């Protein structure tokens, strides 16, 4: 684009200037901004962020100014260059995992090593034996192996048990044959697979002597380490353009009877004895929780920040944007009104502003719960881990009540928090009028990249069934007289049972704790209603899904309100 | 991309095949599909569509298979080639305006001549004098002049009176000087301007002898007819990447004291006498309605079809997609459940399916109302036209009650219908799970292109103020005793007034007309509530915007229900 002529360069915006207006708004607030940010994020984290930002800003490759102009191929190449540079910076500055997460947040786009650094490394770590750590994890940590997590297939996402890829045990040469028997068994949507990865953790139906044992994780090399060409009998590629997430190479993958050695089945929890050819069962069924609960908790933790970006952009813009004179404004008040003053703008943005805080504290509480649980589990080693995600309704088996509570909490809050952020971002975009539609508003691309969070790691609609399942189970225990103080859920259900006949009155206008209690009451009421439908009236599960959805929402809202209050 | 190896080509999807499942669903319905489509669209229109489709399919340039792969520049170039080819086909086959609209619908993307063919031509036609038709319209109709409609500026969209571009009358040489005094006066968002147009209708503040007369339309040449280079003292270009609409070159435009002759101010309704240098007022203030009402009516008419595309894709996909066994399914019922059978999928899609029909009939009714009004107006020529859009709250002056009713109806329905379609499309996309996020689902790109409909031609939130303003005004007339049969609004408000003390009971479960009456009652009730706030309690307009929003929704929903019923 040619540089604008000098008469254009000389032009100024009509007054008052945006910077003046925003300063004026800021002057009107008596909030101590530093104090608030330290309270929200801690001084330490903020300093660290500034330090990392300064390092990134030194590197030309992280310049964002051309992001929205580039087509998909250029964007992907830049994303790859950024991922590589980041990796070098991590080594150079000795950044921790937390430092790297901050850097990723600042870079603000999905990167092609994204799945390597999350699901691939974590799965190897959590599910590999020490011998497998030696064989695979070391190479992965040094980025010699770049990996991805290949679970979803063209035909199956939510229903993991329905996966069609097979891994057949060959007792003769002690290998597994990985195979794609149908078109629908193509691995699909796999992040970092399309172009980047040379290895994959492949979830496949384990078959021993003609008998199927369900999906298990296998490490499979898919590209040559030197030429980066697909290995023989492997068909792999990029799945093509998407609504967003175009800096990530989501890919597909098919196998034509590919053999891998015995060590390639991740064997910390279940394995095959190569001598007897016998399957060894996982120690505890609660294994299903580990990784997934962590991933969901992270989504809950991030939702507030994701939404905050949109709310900040929209609120600032609406403070600066002026349109129309207020028709009831006094004579002496000249000029147009800041659109933030219109009540139909406020009613859209201000509740979302409050929501960012509520989500922030909920995210912190979710992580604290997760960490507390981890600490407890590590005393009791060997019982956690396992990424077999997305079991069907009512079929996961709670190992312990704390674990089950954690699992249900993470499901319900993941669903509520990510929907709230997704929908809130679009409200923010629209509040900016026409300019919200420009990529330069920053909200649209951010929304488009975040959108799949509503679908992955458990589709948000389906996760509500997990919450309902847990609440029904807990309600049954409460009816059977379990100790009300077992956890918060048993407590609120027991309280409801005790008081349901006398009823309850909440002073929601004057007492904040009564607001929390009212939300708890609603959740408990809906739980026992659902239980009546299911256990007394024997209604089919499917006929209750909409009730379950509402129940899960109610329960999760209770948790958000509680965390905001606390 | 390399062609897949033969072992991949040999693979089939796991059974049952999608085509079998969809056939099975179709067999279960006793609906006569042909009869329904003839009823909805008429046999004639369907035949015409097939005829046009066949012509388009002959032309390689309309092949859609590469749409989602191309970057913005390629997509734009293809869009330009398509627009040109379409223009040639129109000439070759003698297609009418309706035929061309059908072709555009089939091509399904915003084209670079889009604004030329809508706002530019219409404005020239409606607002030009016969002399101006001769000078500009003929050239435009032959695509010698390619135009756009340049109203919005960087600083002003909704508030048209706030436009900063000036058109100053020079009595000496009988010309106007078009000028951009500030950065915020840059024309912005103008469709077809970035690359395509060589002319623009520019809305600018008319200034005569130092006095401002408000925004008026001027025809301005912006690029050379041979070289297509910008003319001197004109700065023009593309505004860059957007959330969607990337086959359209929305542009910016600035003027450095550009002179145009007297004839370039469109003068059908207001003009300057070049002899006396005096301004001649528009004949009737009701002029503000014309073009805009037509544009909004078109949006209402199209909303049902826009949504139907998403609903059709999602419903078909969910009939074919199978995931999980129903946990209460009988032993003998093998295999996974079609996700359309899950109640949480039905509760999302089926109401939207019904909505497409409701919107379809509402759109037809809206167009009928518009046409009836046009017919009535043409007996009374000279009183219609004028695109000065987006007047502020309560400030437009109703010329006649029918016009005012039409205007308010088009505002309320445009807002409701486009929001319903926008939000419904995202529901459809999500219902498709992970695959909904792929561009190949077709819903995402369609949504992204449609999205600005919620913002342009009156921001959907702001339009509700126009509806409220009209309802308040009508309520005041009804209280003063205007004939209840004047129009439907006076009728429902009078009915409410008569019966409000005795109250009303509606048998909504058994009588469809009672559902309509209940919706009418709600609208009337909210109208008189709002009137109380405004006229008795003297509440500021701004404090009532949220009430007005709800009132407009209620009234528009009443109209939708009424049209569905009728
Ligand atoms: C951008 C992106 C990146 C991804 N990255 C990866 C990756 O790296 N690795 C990987 O393995 N996967 C990945 N995925 C896949 C993702 O995990 C799945 O898409 C997700 O689990 C949803 O599964 P699905 O697409 O099969 O949805 P489906 O299960 O087919 O859902 C379709 C519809 O049916 C409904 N439904 C289904 N079952 C039920 C039921 N029992 N009750 C009620 N309703 C039901 C759903 O709510 C939904 O509306 C990615 C997906 C996306 C979009
Ligand atoms: C894709 C696209 C194509 C376009 N094409 C054209 C074109 O060809 N020609 C053209 O002239 N224009 C075009 N436009 C511009 C479009 O008409 C304007 O963007 C639209 O009118 C909205 O105006 P705005 O952007 O100034 O919004 P604003 O008025 O700035 O709105 C910002 C926010 O303030 C709120 N608000 C503003 N005023 C009030 C009030 N009085 N009361 C309550 N709330 C208020 C709004 O609801 C919104 O949330 C296009 C826009 C887009 C996105």
The number of helices, as runs of H, and strands, as runs of E, in chain A is 18, 11
User: Are B447 and B425 within 8 A, CB to CB?
Assistant: yes
Neighbours of B63 (CB within 10 A): 12
B531 CB neighbour count, 10 Å cutoff: 21
The strand order across the sheet containing A187-190 reads A187-190, A251-255, A234-238
Q: Which helix (H) or strand (E) holds A272?
A: strand A271-273
- Residue of B438, B530, B535, B539 for testing the chain A interface, max A β-carbons within 10 Å: B438
CA distance A202 to chain B (A): 18
CB-CB under 8 Å, B444 with A437: no
A47 and A137: one domain?
no
pLDDT over 60 (residue A384): no
Distances (CA, A) of A353 to A415, A421, A430: 19, 11, 15
Q: Which residue has the higher pLDDT, B288 or B522?
A: B522
Q: Which two tokens stand for residue B511?
A: 């009588």
Instruction: Please say if the pLDDT value at position B28 is more than 90.
Output: yes
Model pLDDT, residue B381: 53
Average pLDDT over residues A67-80: 90
| pLDDT recorded at residue B389 | 36
Q: Which of B457, B513, B529, B566 is catalytic?
A: B457
The better pLDDT of the pair A283, B306 is held by B306
Name the band, by pLDDT with cuts 50, 70 and 90, for residue B503: confident
Mean pLDDT of A132-147: 97
Q: How confident is the model at residue A194 (pLDDT cuts 50, 70, 90)?
A: very high
Does residue B344 have its Cβ closer than 6 Å to ligand 1? Answer: yes
| Structure-block tokens of residue A141 | 């940590």
Contacts of A403 (CB under 8 A, 6+ apart): A286, A289, A373, A377
Does the pLDDT of residue A382 top 70, yes or no? Answer: no
Say if residue B421 is in the same domain as residue B479.
no
- Looking at residue A428, which CATH number applies to its domain? 1.20.140.10
Q: How many CA atoms lie within 13 A of A223 on its CB side?
A: 22
| Mean pLDDT to the nearest integer, B395-401 | 45
CA nearest to A213, candidates A137, A280, A114: A280
Residue nearest (by alpha carbon) to ligand 2 atom 52: A434
Share of chain A above pLDDT 70, in %: 94
Residue A437 confidence class, pLDDT cut points 50, 70, 90:
very high
Q: Can the peptide bond before residue A469 be classed as cis, meaning omega within 30 degrees of 0?
A: no
Strand partners, B230: B223
Which of A458, A483, A508 delimits the end of a domain?
A458
Q: Is the confidence at residue B394, as pLDDT, over 60?
A: no
Residue, of A335 and A468, whose pLDDT is higher: A468
Domain termination site, one of A432, A458, A484:
A458
Residue A242's DSSP bridge partners are B438
Answer yes or no: is B11 within a domain.
no
Interface test with A, best of B65, B75, B241, B537 (most A CBs within 10 A): B241
Work out the minimum CA distance from A368 to partner chain B, whole angstroms.
30
Q: Is residue B331 part of a domain?
A: no
Q: Which atom of ligand 1 is nearest to the CA of A192?
A: 8
Binding-site members of B for FAD are: 152, 191
Q: Is the pLDDT of residue A176 over 50?
A: yes
- Is the CB of B182 less than 8 angstroms away from the CB of A393? no
The residue with greater pLDDT, B421 or A66, is B421
Using CA atoms of B265, B269, B273, B277 in order, give the dihedral in degrees to the nearest 10.
Answer: -80
Q: Which residues of A are annotated as a binding site for FAD?
A: 152, 191
Structural contact between residues B124 and B144, judged by C-beta atoms closer than 8 angstroms:
no
If asked whether residues A537 and A432 sit together in one domain, one would say: no
- Tell me the mean pLDDT in the region A30-56: 96
Q: Do B444 and B346 fall within a single domain?
A: yes
Distances (CA, A) of B29 to B23, B26, B32, B33, B41: 10, 5, 9, 10, 21
Structure tokens at B21: 């499942």
A191 lies in the same domain as A234: yes
Range of the domain at A488: 470-565
CATH number of the structural domain spanning residue B144 = 2.40.110.10
Q: Is B59 a catalytic residue?
A: no
Peptide bond into B553 cis (omega under 30): no
- Average pLDDT of chain B is 92
Residue A375 has pLDDT above 90, yes or no: no
Contacts of A459 in chain B (CB under 8 A): 433
Whether residues A12 and B327 touch (CB distance < 8 A) is answered with no
* Structure-token pair, residue B148: 């756009």
Look-up: residue for tokens 């090593």? A113
> Is a pLDDT exceeding 90 seen at residue A41?
yes
> Is the pLDDT score of B382 beyond 50?
no
Spell out which residues of chain B touch residue A392, defining contact as CB-CB under 8 Å: 324-325, 327
Q: Indicate which residue of A153, A457, A513, A536 is catalytic.
A: A457
Chain A residues closer than 8 Å to B7 by CB: 233, 235, 256
- Closest Cα in chain A to B1: A237
Query: Closest residue of A to B73, CA-based?
Result: A71
Cβ contact, residue pair A235, B436, below 8 Å: no
Please identify, by atom number, the ligand 2 atom nearest to the C-alpha of residue B156.
Answer: 26
Place of tokens 């017919």: B375
Query: For atom 28 of ligand 2, which residue has the closest CA?
Result: A433
Give the pLDDT confidence of A396-435 residue by residue, as tens digits: 333 456 788 899 999 999 999 999 999 999 999 999 999 9
Among B48, B78, B109, the domain-final residue is B109
* B295 shares a domain with B444: yes
Helices H, strands E: what count in chain B?
Answer: 18, 11
d(CA B260, CA B224): 15
Q: Are A275 and A401 within one domain? A: no
**So what's the pLDDT on residue B393?**
36
On the question of pLDDT at A285 being above 70, the answer is: no
Nearest CB partner across the interface for B242, out of A180, A235, A437 = A437
- C-alpha to C-alpha distance for A272 and A274, rounded to whole angstroms: 6
The mean per-residue pLDDT over the stretch B406-426 comes to: 97
Give B190 to chain A, closest Cα distance, Å: 11
Read off the pLDDT of residues B319-330 as tens digits, 9 standing for 90 and up. 999 999 887 777
Looking at residues A375-382, what average pLDDT do you find?
A: 67
Nearest CA in chain A to B347: A546
Asked, for residue A359, whether it belongs to a domain, the answer is yes
Buried b (16+ CB within 10 A) or exposed e, A353-387: bebbebbbbbbebbeebbeebeeebeeeeebbbbb
Instruction: Specify the ligand 1 atom closest to the Cα of A458.
Output: 21
Residue A308's pLDDT band, with cuts at 50, 70 and 90, is: very high
Q: Any idea which ligand is nearest the CA of A466? A: 1
**Can you tell me the distance from the alpha carbon of B190 to that of B332, in angstroms, rounded to the nearest whole number?**
62
Measure A14 CA to ligand 2 centroid, in angstroms. 18
The mean-pLDDT minimum among A378-382, B131-135, B426-430, B460-464 falls in: A378-382
Mean pLDDT of A236-256: 97
Identify the CATH number of the domain in which residue B76 sits. Answer: 1.10.540.10
Mutate to test the interface with A, among B6, B64, B320, B324 (most CBs of A within 10 A): B324
CB of B217 closer than 8 Å to CB of B203: yes
Q: Are A403 and A286 in contact (CB under 8 A)?
A: yes
A12 domain residue, yes or no: no
Which of B317, B298, B329, B266 shows the shortest CA–CA distance to B124? B266
Same domain, A247 and A301: no
pLDDT of residue B292: 83
Indicate whether B13 belongs to any domain: no
Instruction: Confirm if B21 and B319 have CB atoms less than 8 A apart.
Output: yes
SS3 B32: coil
- Nearest atom in ligand 2 to A438's CA: 53
Residue A43 is predicted with a pLDDT of 95
Q: How far is B30 from B26, CA to CA, in rounded Å?
A: 8
What's residue B331's pLDDT?
Answer: 66
The verdict on B316 and B298 lying in the same domain is yes
Task: Count CB atoms within 10 A of the CB of residue A543.
Answer: 13
Average pLDDT over residues B500-515: 89
Q: B397 pLDDT band (50/70/90 cuts)? A: very low
In terms of domains, do B401 and B541 share one?
no
pLDDT bracket for residue A380 (50, 70, 90): low
Per the CB < 8 A criterion, the answer to whether B548 and B468 are in contact is: yes
Lowest mean pLDDT across A150-154, A419-423, B270-274, B285-289: B285-289
Q: Over the stretch A256-282, which tens digit does the pLDDT of each residue have?
A: 999 999 999 999 989 999 999 999 987
Q: What is the mean pLDDT of residues A449-476?
A: 96
| pLDDT score for B399 | 41
Flag whether B441 is in a domain: yes
Match 């500034």 to its residue by tokens. Answer: A50
Q: What percent of chain A has pLDDT over 90?
A: 82
**Burial class, A240, CB count within 10 angstroms (exposed 0-12 / middle 13-18 / buried 19+):** middle
Does A463 fall in a domain?
no
The closest residue, in CA terms, to atom 30 on ligand 2 is A433
User: Of all atoms in ligand 2, which is nearest to the CA of residue A431?
Assistant: 49
**Residue A248 and residue A134 share a domain:** yes
Provide the domain count of chain A: 4
Mean pLDDT of B181-198: 98
pLDDT number for residue A286: 57
At A57, list the tokens: 């800003």
For chain A, the average pLDDT equals 92
Query: Is the model's pLDDT at A327 over the cut of 80?
Result: no
Q: Are residues B179 and B234 in the same domain?
A: yes
Alpha-carbon separation of residue B280 from A90, B162, B213, B272, B507 (angstroms): 72, 22, 10, 6, 57
Enumerate the residues of chain B whose CB falls inside 8 A of the CB of residue A347: 546
Residue B17 belongs to some domain of the structure: no
For CA atoms B258, B259, B265, B271, give the dihedral sign: positive
Which ligand ends up closest to the CA of B326? 1
Please tell me the residue having the least CA distance from ligand 2 atom 43.
A342
pLDDT score of A387 more than 60: no
CA distance A192 to A196: 5
- DSSP string for B450-511: HGGGGTSSS-HHHHHHHHHHHHHHHHHHHHTT--TTSSHHHHHHHHHHHHTTT-----TTT-
- Structural contact between residues A414 and A362, judged by C-beta atoms closer than 8 angstroms: no
Q: Of the candidates B110, B118, B113, which has an alpha carbon nearest to the alpha carbon of residue B75?
A: B110
Q: List all residues 6 or more positions away from B95 whose beta carbon is below 8 Å from its beta carbon.
A: B52, B89, B103
Measured distance CA(A466)–CA(A398) in Å, rounded: 11
């Amino acid at each position: 684009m040619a540089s604008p002529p000098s008469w254009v360069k000389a032009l100024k915006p009509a007054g008052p200037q945006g910077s003046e207006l925003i300063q004026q708004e800021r002057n009107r607030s008596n909030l101590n901004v530093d104090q608030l940010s330290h309270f929200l994020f801690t001084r330490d984290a903020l300093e660290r962020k500034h330090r990392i930002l300064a390092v990134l800003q030194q590197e030309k490759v992280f310049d964002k100014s051309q992001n929205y102009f580039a087509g998909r191929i250029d964007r992907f190449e830049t994303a790859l260059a950024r991922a590589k540079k980041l990796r070098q910076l991590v080594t150079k500055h000795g950044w921790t995992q937390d430092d790297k997460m901050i850097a990723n947040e600042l870079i603000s786009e999905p990167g092609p090593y994204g799945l390597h650094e999350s699901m691939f490394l974590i799965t190897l770590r959590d599910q590999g034996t020490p011998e497998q750590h030696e064989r695979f994890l070391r190479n992965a940590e040094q980025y010699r192996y770049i990996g991805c997590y290949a679970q979803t297939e063209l035909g199956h996402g939510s229903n993991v048990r329905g996966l069609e890829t097979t891994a057949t045990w060959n007792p003769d040469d002690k290998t597994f044959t990985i195979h794609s028997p149908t078109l629908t068994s193509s691995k699909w949507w796999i992040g970092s697979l399309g172009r980047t990865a040379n290895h994959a953790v492949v979830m496949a139906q384990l078959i021993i002597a003609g008998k199927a044992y369900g999906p298990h994780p296998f490490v499979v090399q898919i590209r040559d380490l030197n030429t980066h060409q697909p290995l023989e009998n492997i068909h792999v590629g990029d799945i093509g353009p998407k609504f967003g997430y175009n800096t990530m190479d989501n890919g597909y993958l098919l196998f034509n009877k590919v053999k891998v050695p015995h060590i390639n089945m991740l064997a910390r929890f279940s394995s095959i004895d190569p001598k007897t050819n016998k399957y060894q069962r996982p120690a505890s069924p609660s294994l299903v929780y580990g990784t997934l609960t962590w991933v969901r908790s992270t989504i809950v933790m991030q939702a507030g920040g994701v939404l905050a970006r949109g709310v900040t952009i929209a609120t600032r813009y609406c403070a600066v944007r002026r349109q129309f004179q207020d028709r009831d404004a006094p004579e002496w008040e000249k000029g147009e009104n800041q659109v933030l003053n219109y009540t139909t703008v406020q009613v859209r943005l201000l509740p979302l502003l409050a929501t960012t805080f509520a989500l922030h504290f909920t995210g912190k509480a979710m992580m604290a719960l997760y960490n507390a649980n981890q600490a407890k589990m590590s005393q009791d080693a060997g019982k956690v881990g396992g990424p077999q995600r997305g079991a069907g309704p009512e079929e996961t088996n709670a190992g312990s009540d704390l674990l089950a509570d954690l699992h249900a909490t993470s499901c319900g809050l993941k669903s509520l928090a990510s929907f709230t952020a997704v929908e809130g971002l679009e409200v923010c975009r629209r509040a900016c009028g026409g300019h919200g539609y420009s990529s330069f508003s920053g909200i649209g691309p951010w929304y488009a990249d975040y959108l799949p969070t509503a679908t992955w790691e458990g589709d948000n609609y389906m996760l509500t069934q997990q919450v309902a399942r847990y609440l029904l189970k807990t309600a049954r225990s409460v009816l059977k007289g379990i100790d009300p103080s077992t956890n918060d859920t048993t407590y609120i259900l027991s309280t409801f049972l005790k008081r349901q006949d006398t009823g309850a009155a909440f002073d929601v206008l004057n007492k904040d704790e009564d607001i929390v209690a009212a939300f708890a009451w609603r959740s408990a009421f809906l739980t026992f209603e659902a239980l009546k439908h299911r256990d007394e009236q024997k209604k089919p599960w499917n006929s209750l899904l909409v009730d379950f959805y509402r129940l899960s929402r109610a329960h999760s809202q209770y948790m958000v309100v509680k965390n905001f209050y606390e």
